[in-house]
Structure 1
Amino acid sequence: MAVAPGLPPGAVHELELLLPPERRHTETDTLAFYATDDTPRRVTPGAVVFPATAEEVAELVRIAYRHQIPVVPRGAGSGNVGGALPVPGALVVAFECMDAVLELDPVNRLIRVQPGVTNQQVQDAAGEHGLFWPPDPGSAAYCQVGGNLAMNSAGPMAVKRGVTGDWVLGLEAVTGTGEVFGAGTRTTKGVVGYDLTALMIGSEGGLGLVTEATLQLTPRPATKRTARACFADVASAGAAVERIMAGDVVPSALELMDGLAIEALRRGGFDHDLAPDTGAVLMVEADGSTEAVVAEFTALTERLEGEGLLEVATGASDTEIRDLWRARKSLSRAVKRIAPLKINEDVVVPVTRLTELITRLEGFAETYDLPIVNFGHAGNGNLHVNLMVHPEDADEMARAHACLDRVFDTVLELGGTLSGEHGVGSEKAPFVARELDPVSRELHRRIKDALDPKSILNPGKGF
């Protein structure tokens, strides 16, 4: 194993004693592959290692602790805030070899997995028993459970069922000194000690490396019904969101696409029979027992009625539902026709301020001469704000960063938060002080010091 830039020779020797050659790498090609996540930046690490057990993870952290090497945990690398982005000379701990389902207990409705298991693997294993794990990020086919926990990921189902942290019973993790600890329970009730499970979830690998997670499962809904509602403008769609969320039925999904998103779909030929004058779209879904869904879906679609509604298309079969979602699922491909790079933010505001936020964003798009595509999980007030840019255009990038500054200030002014499901990573770290007060930040620092005294775990990320 050749000495990697920034990795002390003594640490290299210890890694050679701990791991076989196929699970420790410093060659250029491997380092290049793990030098980035879904952000455009690249930082070459010192080495990439692939532990297979919790004890190997612990020993890797002990080596890093002795030599004061930054440790960057990595799942699928699909995050877009730089959460898995290395720092120079870092030891990237990739969890691809820790991909086992350790236990599935359908009676107690839990599954115990290693962090490298994908979200889809969890769903497939649980599905054999009529169960599922509600967190449903759009990257479920390849994102890993460890990453889901690190960022407290979510998706369209969060409006009804909550985020990742609401469905984790317990976990095992390694601190920044290489100590292994357990947190949580195997039961849905448990109040012994502080809630270290909740503390670890969303900490972006900065407090510890998760080596095992016990996830809570729930019965898979028997059926679902979906509506796609076309509105003349965002204001009309926003008013419908408020009517729905003020009602007595919580939708299982409530998604929004704004006018520029619709325009992008049309440019790419992905509009899939949307009404000609559509300026915004809502996707509304109900799921549950067959009897309940009929009544709940009727109540939800009634609340779509109002000024600006152009048409409502509904579906109940798998094929019909898939066809209705096709425009929304095509959006990521469509927006790439506007510009090669999207600066993707996942801000959240109270549902009653969502329309105001989008109106302000439309103003920023004009002020800074930038296309801003907005879509997201309207039922949570969670909006994906996409600034579409050409990274080679320095002036455009400068305008984008100035615009982003205004976006974050506006979100906080409206009573919101800077991230709903992507996390903070390195991209939003400079803005955290705008949201967290000084006392809160000091408490964060003390907690970090207690669990990671040399600050080697994922430095420069989160808080």
Structure 2
Amino acid sequence: MSASFIPKSVSALSAAAIAGLRAALPPDRIYFEAADCLPYAYDNSRRVSLPQAVAFPMDENEVVALVRACRQFRIALTPRGRGTNTTGATVPVEGGVVVSMERMNRILSLSPGDRLIECEAGCTNSDVQRAAAAHGLFWAPDPTSADFASVGGNIACGAGGPRAVKYGTARENVLGLNAVLGTGELIRSGCHTTKGVVGYDLTRLLVGSEGTLGLITRATLKLLPRPAGLRTLRVAYRDVSSAIQAVTRIMGQPAAPCALEFFDTDAVALAQAWRDCGIPADTGALLLIDVDGDGAGLEADTIAISNAARGDGLVELRSAASRAESEDLWAARKALSPSLRKLAPRKINEDVAVPITRLPELVSGLGALSREHGLRIVSFGHAGNGNLHVNILADPSDPAQAGAIEACLHAMFRLVLSLDGTLSGEHGVGIDKRDFVAWEVAAPALAVMRQIKRVFDPEGILNPGKTLPDAAE
């Protein structure tokens, strides 16, 4: 899909505003030339909107100074990690200043005894994982983009990943945050302990808020002990229905998989085309399951999960013979999203989630929508917590397909909500889903959210145009 430029009418920054911004940061860390700003005009959503300036703070004091300058001159301010999000959350739709946190990338402290790490927002997920692994620990969120995505971005979007089925998402694994509000005030939320109920839980409010309430500058993350053993199971089924029924059986018994990924028929073919993994030719759907643990417990859980996976439609249940084979299987999973672009010029990627017991209805409903609208729909993802990446594929040069996209997307969202689901499991809302938020969140709750936004950001300068629809909508 080609880049989508966002038309806008933005007044040029005044001389006083430029002087105020330059006073906040040294001249080598704030750019105003269009050529310098262009790399920060887009993210993985492929939307493009040019900012008027890009700033690179090095510490919290500079973030505070920058926000205060933007507030004084009513300049829109868009926080940015590494731009890996897919919903346009870091596209500066109203111009203004992009605040890149990439240079605030230090690990500040690590306490194995307390099982926590404190880092700046610009650290990558992989930076944290390497530091924690040296002590036999890990941070739970593991998005596909972990090698590049920043911790601040993971938190702002509420990222999860495959192992969220057992260990939770960012929201369950952040102990505390430092953030600069739209008022220019630096606040600290949470604590350095796993128990703490003093005051309101601002940490969980900031997680997933996409920079609309505050610029996250520092995070205290909960670390978990890394299990000694890991087993990877590849379970092939003759059709999608058999695989989805197996998911409900697996999640309905006590042994919890670390990860439980689903591949529909097209996703299986793409994975096999990317690398020949010896998937049986009559495979119509696939589950990729990680089981972790220690000693006898790992063995018992693997047996229990394998037994639950067996049932009608089973073609093959195979345990990876080595760590290398396991890594090959997961590499094929991670290659799925970019591989989809081989099937159609345009890909609309949604990450809806429903209760696990409603997955059969979701998958059946998606098949019906594909037939009704004449569009190919490919689904894969984190079936263990009901979170599927649903990809609507289309050729925009075909008038029938181009005209069917919006109706199909709307019908899919209605289907998800009818199944007690949510429109975003881990990718956030950004631009792409903000107009649909009112479909899921009732008016009284939305009104409270808008009041919270005004308290945190009175002038509305923080990441405008994201997360919440306008009151008139």
| TM-score (normalizing by structure 1) | 0.96
1:231 equivalenced with 2:237 (yes/no)? yes
Q: Identify which range, 445-454 or 360-369, moves more after superposition.
A: 360-369
Equivalent residue for 1:406?
411
**Structure 2 Cα separation of the partners of residues 333 and 439 of structure 1:** 39
Alpha-carbon offset, residue 325 of structure 1: 2.8
**Aligned partner of 1:38 among 38, 44, 50:** 44
AA of the residue aligned to 1:228: R
Cα shift at 1:219: 1.0
Q: Take 2:36 and 2:151, find their aligned partners in 1: how far apart are those partners?
A: 23
Percent identity, please: 47
SS state of the match for residue 427, structure 2? coil
Moved more, 148-157 or 39-48: 39-48
C-alpha deviation, 1:100, in angstroms? 0.4
Structure 2 contact 24–69 (Cα < 8 Å) conserved: no
Q: What is aligned with 1:385?
A: 390
Matched, 1:109 2:112: no
Partner of residue 74 from structure 1, selected from 73, 80, 84 = 80
Aligned to 2:209: 203
- What are the residue-to-residue correspondences of 1:344-383 with 2, within 5 Å? 344-383=349-388
Cα distance in structure 2, aligned partners of 1:38 and 1:401:
21
2: distance between equivalents of 1:395 and 1:39?
24
CA distance in 2, matches of 1:41, 1:355: 33
Which residue does the alignment assign to 1:150? 156
Matches within 5 A, 1:249-328: 249-266=255-272, 268-315=273-320, 317-328=322-333
Which residue is 1:444 aligned to?
A: 449
Q: Which residue of structure 1 lines up, in the alignment, with residue 125 of structure 2?
A: 119
1:15 Cα shift? Answer: 1.7
Gaps of 5+ in 1: none
| Secondary structure at the counterpart of residue 228 of structure 1 | strand
Instruction: Please tell me whether the aligned partners of residues 270 and 330 of structure 1 are also in contact (alpha carbons under 8 angstroms).
Output: no
Structure 2 partner of 1:242: 248
SS for the counterpart of 1:156 is coil
CA distance in 2, matches of 1:171, 1:107: 20
The more displaced of 361-370 and 272-281 is 361-370
Counterpart selection for 1:435 from 426, 432, 440: 440
Q: Deviations along 1:337-385, whole A, 9 cap, x unmatched?
A: 1023321100001111112111111121122221111001001000000
SS state at 2:300 partner:
helix
Counterpart CA distance in 2 for 1:447 and 1:352 is: 34
Residue 27 of structure 2 corresponds to 21
The more displaced of 5-14 and 177-186 is: 5-14
**Contact map agreement 1:175 1:207 (CA 8 A) in 2:** yes
CA offsets per residue over residues 406-428 of structure 1, 9 Å max, x none? 11000000110000000000100
Alignment match, 2:471: none
The separation in 2 between residues aligned to 1:324 and 1:202, in whole angstroms, is 30
The runs of 5 or more residues in structure 2 that have no matched partner are 1-9, 469-473
Separation in structure 2 between the aligned mates of residue 415 and residue 459 of structure 1, nearest angstrom? 29
**CA distance in 1: counterparts of 2:37 and 2:349, whole angstroms:** 26
Q: Is the 8 A contact 1:49 1:93 kept in 2?
A: yes
Report the secondary structure of 1:98's partner residue: coil
Tell me by how many angstroms 1:165 deviates. Answer: 1.2
Distance in 2 between the 1:368 and 1:132 partners? 44
2:342 alignment partner, one of 303, 315, 337: 337
Q: Within 2, Cα distance between the matches of 1:458 and 1:123?
A: 28
**How big is each residue's C-alpha offset from its partner over 1:145-202, in whole Å with a ceiling of 9 and x where there is no partner?**
0001101100000000100111111011111110011100001111110001011001
Could you tell me how far apart the structure 2 residues matched to 1:242 and 1:156 are?
A: 17
Is 1:456 matched with 2:465?
no
Q: Distance in 1 between matches of 2:225 and 2:321?
A: 19
In structure 2, what is the Cα distance between the partners aligned to 1:272 and 1:214? 40
Deviates more, 1:427-436 or 1:18-27: 18-27
- The answer to whether structure 1 residue 62 and structure 2 residue 68 are counterparts is yes
Write the distance in 2 (CA, Å) between the matches of 1:436 and 1:111: 34
Compared CA separation, residues 243 and 388, structure 1 to 2 (3 A): same
- 1:91 corresponds to which residue? 97
What is the rounded CA distance, in whole Å, between the counterparts of 2:98 and 2:160 in structure 1?
Answer: 25
Letter of the structure 2 residue corresponding to residue 71 of structure 1 = L
The residue type paired with residue 337 of structure 1 is K
Query: Which sits farther off after the overlay, 178-187 or 356-365?
Result: 356-365
CA distance in 2, matches of 1:394, 1:61: 46
TM-score (norm 2): 0.94
Please give the secondary structure, in 2, of the residue aligned with 1:249. coil
- Given the superposition, is the C-alpha separation of residues 251 and 444 from structure 1 closer, same or farther in structure 2, using an over 3 Å criterion? same
**Is 1:224–1:316's contact at 8 Å kept on the other side of the alignment?**
no
> Against the structure 1 CA distance between its residues 54 and 397, is the aligned structure 2 distance closer, same or farther, given a 3 Å change threshold?
farther
Count matched residues: 459
Flag the 1:5–1:445 CA change in 2: closer, same or farther, 3 A.
closer
SS of the counterpart of 2:342? coil
Aligned-partner Cα distance in 2 for 1:372–1:217: 37
SS at match of 2:48: coil
1:326-346 deviation line (CA, Å, top 9, x unaligned): 432332343221023321100
Could you tell me which residue of structure 2 aligns to residue 173 of structure 1? 179
In structure 2, the CA distance between the partners of 1:269 and 1:321, relative to structure 1 (3 Å rule), is closer
- CA-based RMSD: 1.5
Give the partner amino acid of 1:260. Answer: D
Per-residue displacement from partner, 1:81-132 (whole Å, max 9, x unpaired)? 1111112322100001100001111111111100000000000011111111
Q: How far apart in 1 are the matches of 2:269 and 2:370? A: 15
1:163 partnered with 2:165: no
Between stretches 389-398 and 432-441, larger displacement belongs to 389-398
Q: Which residue of 1 aligns with 2:5?
A: none
